[in-house]
Each structure stands twice: as C-alpha cells, then as structure tokens.
Structure 1
Amino acid sequence: MTSPFDPPAVTWSRVSPRLVTARLVPAAITLGIPVLVGVALAFAASPWFWILAGIPAAIFALVAFVVPRQVRAIGYAERDDDLLIRKGLMFRSLTVVPYGRMQYVDVEAGPLDRKLGLAKVQLHTASVGTDAQIPGLPPDEAARLRDRLASRGEARLAGL
C-alpha cells in the first residue's frame, strides 16, 4: 500500500544537512542564556537554581534530538506539472504546488544562512494558503530552482 506522502515514481531531493546547524544555533543561544544564569545563581546563591539551569538544558537536548530528524524529513521533487514538498515527522505534510499557480519565487538567506552557505526558496501562489518554502538549499541550487520554477510557472501561466 502506498502512502499519501510517498507518491509512486517520485525521486526526492534533500536539503543540506547544514540546516541542522542553522536551526540549532538560535536554539542554543536562546536556551543557553537561562542555563548560564541558572548555573551562576546555583553557585552564588542556592542549589535550587540548578533547576533553572536544568529545564532549558533538557529542552535543548530534546531539540538537538528532534531537529536532525526533522531536517532529514524535508524533501522536494520536481514533476512535469507541479512541485512536491514534504516535511514533518509526527505531523507530516505533502504540499503540491502546480507550476501554473505560481506567481513568483523568492530566494532568501539571513546572516546565519549565508555564513553556513544556505538559502531558502519561497514560492508564492495565487492562493494564500498554498505558499510553500524549501529551506536549507545551497545558494546555487536555490538559484537554479528559482529560475527553473519561474520559467515553468510562466510557461504554464501563458498556456491558460
């Protein structure tokens, strides 16, 4: 039996494993500050502050366990008439974006993404609810995908 998240005869492309680092760095900064404050207060004031340090440390351990698996679950596939994007482990999703519905395609990269050599392709469609994104692509692949999707979208739109 085939899964609705694995259409037959589809070859999935994966995002860069550097996306794991791009997602863990902000989490480490956000959760690291309460850990450091808790450790400092535990040494200076009371051992009860180890709880303040332990809770965000446990949350980061969970995030560090889940994020690599989430990144491995992200994939995209170009077909003749549409683009497929899948993601998620527990809550899986498969987004099908017909080329004729694409209005424009953006490539974005924040400072951390640029440092890690990553970019995100953002697809904007005629329907607000079907906008899709593919994070964690190398910049050259993101540019290639942007150009290819834009040209396919124009060709399909011109045929209407």
Structure 2
Amino acid sequence: MTPETTGGPAPADPLEPWPQTVRWQRVSSDLIWVELIRLAIGVAVLVVGLALGWAFSGHWLFGLGLGLVALLTGWRVVTIVRAVHAWGYAERDDDLLVRHGLLVRRLSIVPYSRMQFVDVTAGPLERAFDLATVQLHTAAAASDARVPGLPPAEAARLRDRLTALGEDRAEGL
C-alpha cells in the first residue's frame, strides 16, 4: 500500500532537503554586493601579481594565468548570485532551520534548547550595506549555524527571539 492509497501524506523526498511546510525567510540581496566586493579585492591582488610577473618575465604562463583568473571570476560571480538566493531561514516552534548551498545543499536544524549563545556581527563591508550576520552556537560545533545578510533590525530581533526561546526551552531540561 502506498501513502496515496491510504490517504496519508506522501513521504518526503530525501534528495530535497528544503521542507515546503515552513515559511522561508530570504536574506537580503545586498549580500550579493558584499560578496562580489570581497571577490573583487581577492581577484585584484591576484591580477596585480600575475600582471607584474608577466611584465617582468614576459613568460606566456602569466598571460594564461590572467585568462584563467578572468574565466574563474566570471564563473564565481554567477555562483555568488545563485548562492545568496539559496540562503534562507525559518523559525518554528522548537527549532530554527537554516538552508544554503547549491551543489551541496545543507539544512541545519538548531533546537532552541541546544543554543548556548547567539552572536550578531557586521564587518566593514556588511556595515556599508547595512547588513549583519546572526551566528548560533551550540555545544556541538558541527551544529552551529549562521544567517548572513540580514538588516540590523531583523538580526537584533532574531537574536533576541532566539535567546528568549533558548532560555525558555533550557529551563524545561
């Protein structure tokens, strides 16, 4: 007998890690600009090094390296845009779900009762775009999760809510 014939719900697809029964919150698309600027800084350093090597030695491998950097940079720009759109989080009654990833999809489920503390950080680039990152810490480092690209007000609200729910759930242990 299949679930369809018994009237029960169809089983979840194990290859589809994003549960459709929750309301996913997306991160800000301004995170794309933050990540692109970080990429540009790294690529600029690499290009300057390769260009100087090519100028002083004249060896064709430096030119090939520049071409590869350009090709890989274009590929990385596309993946950054898609990766930012893959980030999401959902608040449920007992836990927080955080999803991200393109090739390897990752779904982190962090029970409120397991949270030890919650960080809100914002580096210089994030502050320039009015963004912050919420980092959740648990006893097991592998179960830590982060939600980047949130407006500071949403990051503070999420931090306060997670902290309050964590304290409430921990009292019951």
TM-score, length of structure 1 as denominator length? 0.90
Are 2:86 and 1:73 aligned? yes
Are 2:95 and 1:56 aligned? no
State which drifts further: 111-120 or 33-42: 33-42
- Change in 2 beyond 3 A, CA 1:127/1:33: closer
Are 2:129 and 1:119 aligned? no
Partner of 1:33: 45
Q: Which amino acid aligns with 1:122?
A: Q
In 1: Cα distance, 2:54 partner to 2:140 partner: 53
Are 2:118 and 1:105 aligned? yes
Structure 1 unaligned spans of 5+:
none
Q: Which amino acid aligns with 1:15?
A: V
In 2: Cα distance, 1:117 partner to 1:3 partner: 37
State which drifts further: 133-142 or 27-36: 27-36
Identify the match of residue 2 of structure 1 among 4, 12, 20: 12
In 2: Cα distance, 1:37 partner to 1:98 partner: 47
Partner of 2:152: 139
State which drifts further: 42-51 or 148-157: 42-51
Conserved 8 A contact 1:38-1:51: no
- Change in 2 beyond 3 A, CA 1:115/1:2: same
TM-score, length of structure 2 as denominator length? 0.84
Deviation beyond 6 Å, 4+ runs, structure 1: none
Are 2:23 and 1:11 aligned? yes
In 1: Cα distance, 2:167 partner to 2:147 partner: 20
Q: Which amino acid aligns with 1:109?
A: A
Larger radius of gyration: 2
In 2: Cα distance, 1:42 partner to 1:140 partner: 48
Partner of 1:128: 141
Task: State the aligned residue count.
Answer: 160
Partner of 1:91: 104
Distance apart, 1:13 and its partner CA = 0.3
In 1: Cα distance, 2:107 partner to 2:78 partner: 23
In 2: Cα distance, 1:104 partner to 1:44 partner: 52
State which drifts further: 27-36 or 124-133: 27-36
Structure 2 unaligned spans of 5+:
1-10
In 2: Cα distance, 1:147 partner to 1:118 partner: 17
Cα distance per residue 1:106-141 (max 9 Å; x no partner): 100111111111110000112222111111111111
